[in-house]
Structure 1
């Protein structure tokens, strides 16, 4: 809600809203280069085309912080399972958060900035994800470039900063921002509970991918026991097979993975086979990337057979 937004941030939003032409949320991201913007209007981040700054993310203006020096920053929880304000996210909400984190991590890995859409909401921001009637109040594109100043998987936290690199908020400002977003520090025991065996990594990766495809309405059948050279068969509602996926889970500090002879044979056969590598498979910030058969040798963590 507007009354929760810092006056400096609200001033920019009102200026953009009053001086610019009236645009719908779909128009905004479409003009920023998002293909199929209408179908993706409900997403939390997008990948644009034809622009070096091709990751676009919505930031809730109510949670944009202004430092004592005037720099804007935003803290992003990397735990996709817990919603803003506390409580468990639904499977769909969690998947949207994971998709968003995947795009933000892409910007980090590429050393790119992030384009931002500032959003205010019609309900208090800490109730936004728990209120089924919650709606967007205003969305405006920010003309200033943002960047991800820190990505800390251990603390389940990323820091986005508006403007030139080289500045980060103080510890006191970070703590105040965490309190404002009702974002607790991760419990120490969470790190101790991470599974490390290959079997546990594979099970965690399978669960991640099954939930991912189910979130989009697809059927993801576990066929590992059949020894087909892939672990998950993804099909649409009509039963048409879309992908045959060999699943590998990875984790920092854990050994890499190998491909079996059956997986290698499927890779050579090509579509619809894919290799899915799920990084940080057991953790709440798990992400995955798919590789075609011709790309498997470039997959991170692959060890010679």
Structure 2
């Protein structure tokens, strides 16, 4: 709600709201190049034309730091909201999709465009109250970037404007306190239950299936047939588009290698691709896809 927004931030939002065309929240995102905006109105980040990333920035979460620089903390826990309340499956998936896109900009050192928004109910009711609709959404003229990605701290830092500035530790701590975010757990307190390679691979297959299905494609798991690939991706009309061999990697299992069936299929099948999912069991899983001629470039790949 407006009462929760820093006055400097609210002034910018109101100026944009009053000076721009009268568009609803979906139309604003659509005008920024998101062709599927109407099909994904409840998402919090989108891939626009030209592979640019657009993400919502909640005005209630924006802090004004040194030199009037804006920043916002991005929590990396996709399973629970601030305060410990569990998200629904759809909310979890939207949170994961947003983190994947933001992490992609961080890894490539790219900026992303933002839509600033405020909400009709207090910020801590978002996702749990059906009335928690967008009150105001405006396009931000300034680009944003991910200045830090700290899995051990459970957060990333999003900064408005040019690179080179990051909030101080005291400013980050103040932002944590404002949002009620607890400090990260100390080393040694995390669950030490070992994770098997089968668990990682199963999570990777589920991730890839959700990824392609989320874009309207059909993703059929054929891994049990030992065809040299795991997922067959086809268009809504049934046309086969890709035959994807899936590999999940983690800190505990960073290496990957192709089976004899996968090597043979990669040599003869033009639609064959290798898709590597990093940390598929974590809250910020991400992936990269390789053609047969690029497989040796995959981190952790072991050849014959």
The TM-score range, normalised by the shorter chain, is: 0.7 to 0.9
- Specify the alignment match of 2:172 in structure 1: 174
Question: Shift in Å at residue 273 of structure 1?
Answer: 4.1
Question: Shift in Å at residue 107 of structure 1?
Answer: 1.1
Secondary structure at the residue paired with 1:302? Answer: coil
2:224 maps to 1:225: yes
- Specify the alignment match of 1:45 in structure 2: 45
Q: CA 1:244–1:181 in structure 2 vs 1: closer, same or farther (change >3 Å)?
A: farther
Secondary structure at the residue paired with 2:111? Answer: coil
Secondary structure at the residue paired with 2:114? Answer: strand
Question: Shift in Å at residue 224 of structure 1?
Answer: 3.2
Secondary structure at the residue paired with 1:149? Answer: strand
Worse-matched range after superposition: 116-125 or 184-193: 184-193
Question: Shift in Å at residue 34 of structure 1?
Answer: 2.4
Aligned-partner Cα distance in 2 for 1:187–1:207? 28
After superposition, residues 12-161 of structure 1 pair within 5 angstroms as: 12-50=12-50, 54-161=52-159
Residues 74 and 156, structure 2, Cα contact 8 Å, conserved in 1: yes
- Specify the alignment match of 1:205 in structure 2: 204
Q: Which stretches in structure 2 are left out of the alignment for 5+ residues?
A: none
- Specify the alignment match of 1:249 in structure 2: 248
RMSD: 2.9
Question: Shift in Å at residue 196 of structure 1?
Answer: 5.3
Question: Shift in Å at residue 233 of structure 1?
Answer: 4.7
Aligned-partner Cα distance in 2 for 1:32–1:47? 10
Residues 78 and 156, structure 1, Cα contact 8 Å, conserved in 2: yes
1:168-213 Cα distance to aligned partner (Å, 9 max, x none)? 2222221221233333334345755374543342233234335556
Question: Shift in Å at residue 124 of structure 1?
Answer: 1.1
Q: CA 1:210–1:50 in structure 2 vs 1: closer, same or farther (change >3 Å)?
A: closer
1:33-83 Cα distance to aligned partner (Å, 9 max, x none)? 2233333433211223358xx221111111111125422110001122223
Secondary structure at the residue paired with 1:38? Answer: coil
Q: Which stretches in structure 1 are left out of the alignment for 5+ residues?
A: none
Residues 91 and 215, structure 1, Cα contact 8 Å, conserved in 2: no
Aligned-partner Cα distance in 2 for 1:6–1:47? 28
1:104-142 Cα distance to aligned partner (Å, 9 max, x none)? 112112211221110111111111111123211111011
Residues 296 and 303, structure 2, Cα contact 8 Å, conserved in 1: no
Residues 79 and 284, structure 1, Cα contact 8 Å, conserved in 2: yes
Worse-matched range after superposition: 112-121 or 38-47: 38-47
Aligned-partner Cα distance in 2 for 1:85–1:143? 32
- Specify the alignment match of 2:275 in structure 1: 276
Residues 245 and 275, structure 1, Cα contact 8 Å, conserved in 2: yes
Residues 161 and 168, structure 1, Cα contact 8 Å, conserved in 2: yes
- Specify the alignment match of 2:258 in structure 1: 259
Residues 66 and 167, structure 2, Cα contact 8 Å, conserved in 1: no
Q: CA 1:217–1:36 in structure 2 vs 1: closer, same or farther (change >3 Å)?
A: closer
Secondary structure at the residue paired with 2:35? Answer: coil
Aligned-partner Cα distance in 2 for 1:247–1:298? 15
Worse-matched range after superposition: 16-25 or 240-249: 240-249
Report runs of 4+ in structure 1 exceeding 6 Å deviation: 214-219, 235-242
Q: CA 1:64–1:176 in structure 2 vs 1: closer, same or farther (change >3 Å)?
A: same
